[in-house]
Amino acid sequence: MNKPMKMMTFDDVVRSRRSVRGFLPKEVPMETMREIFELAQLAPSNCNIQPWITHVVSGDSLKELGNKLVDAAKAGREPDPDWPADKKFPGVYRERQIDAAVRLYGHMGVERHDAVGRENAYLRNQMFFDAPHAVFIFMLGMFDAREAVDLGIYAQNLMLSMTSRGVDSCAQGALGLYASIVREHLGLPDDLQILFGISFGYEDPDVAANRTRTERATVDEHIVFHR
């Protein structure tokens, strides 16, 4: 069921966006999709180069891609992300990573040492959490961190535009782990790099993972005001 389309303030939109990891089999109408992508397109970027290259996958193509990704993961195929994805976070970053995982797995009923449960939870990523759509955001291989920032800003515009129209989403670095499979499936050249994908659609409120709520450190922990 669609969420009621009341006008949301900017604060409402920012506060109500969260990662959704279980979707209903209901597509987002093309008209809504166009509005969302048109709004996202207004993102600022270095020198206005707009380096994002966006591919939206739905229907049979999404199902086939999901099957390929799940098969690769189940077969233990070595991931080939364009950007390293195996960084170990130190200190407080590790603490926050664990806190987010504990909250998510707690709702999913997966214990810390339950390797099978964790594997199954990870595989849900490769199935787009049953979403009817996924968007992959690419940039040219010649680009670097500066342009990656532009893609991040674009992605946040995109997710907030979705929230404002009752569409739920989950950004997923996991969708860039098998970059070559995604490129091959979409018929794209090797010099288009994937940073991440975003699954989107309408939340299935019966999926336990969707009860997860994360927290943020306080402003005082992050910000130093100088004058």
Write each residue from 88 to 117 as x if it is in contact with ligand FMN (CB under 6 A), else as -, in one continuous string.
Answer: ------------x-----------------
User: Segment 55-94, which members bind ligand FMN (CB under 6 A)?
Assistant: none
Q: Is 137 in the site for ligand FMN (CB under 6 A)?
A: no
Identity of the amino acid at 172: Q
- Report the nearest approach of ligand FMN to the CB of residue 127 (Å): 12
Q: Please, are residues 27 and 133 in contact by the beta-carbon 8 Å criterion?
A: yes
Q: Please, are residues 202 and 168 in contact by the beta-carbon 8 Å criterion?
A: yes
- Report the nearest approach of ligand FMN to the CB of residue 152 (Å): 7
Closest CB to ligand FMN among residues 18, 118? 18
Q: Is 170 in the site for ligand FMN (CB under 6 A)?
A: yes
Binding span for ligand FMN by CB under 6 A among 5-13, 32-40, 45-53, 171-179: 171-179
Write each residue from 172 to 201 as x if it is in contact with ligand FMN (CB under 6 A), else as -, in one continuous string.
Answer: xxx---------------------x-----
Q: Which two tokens stand for residue 41?
A: 């397109």
Closest CB to ligand FMN among residues 110, 170? 170
Looking up tokens 């070595």 gives 78
3 state SS for the chain: CCCCCCCCCHHHHHHHCCECCCECCCCCCHHHHHHHHHHHCCCCCHHHCCCCEEEEEEHHHHHHHHHHHHHHHHCCCCCCCCCCCCCCCCHHHHHHHHHHHHHHHHHHCCCCCCHHHHHHHHHHHHCHHHCCEEEEEEEECCCCHHHHHHHHHHHHHHHHHHHHCCCEEEEEHHHHCCHHHHHHHHCCCCCEEEEEEEEEECECCCCHHHHCCCCCCCHHHHCCCCC
- Report the nearest approach of ligand FMN to the CB of residue 25 (Å): 19
Q: Which residue is nearest to ligand FMN (CB)?
A: 174
Write each residue from 1 to 40 as x if it is in contact with ligand FMN (CB under 6 A), else as -, in one continuous string.
Answer: -----------------xx-x-------------------
Closest CB to ligand FMN among residues 164, 172? 172
Q: Is 134 in the site for ligand FMN (CB under 6 A)?
A: no
Binding site for ligand FMN (CB under 6 A): 18-19, 21, 100, 125, 170-174, 196, 214
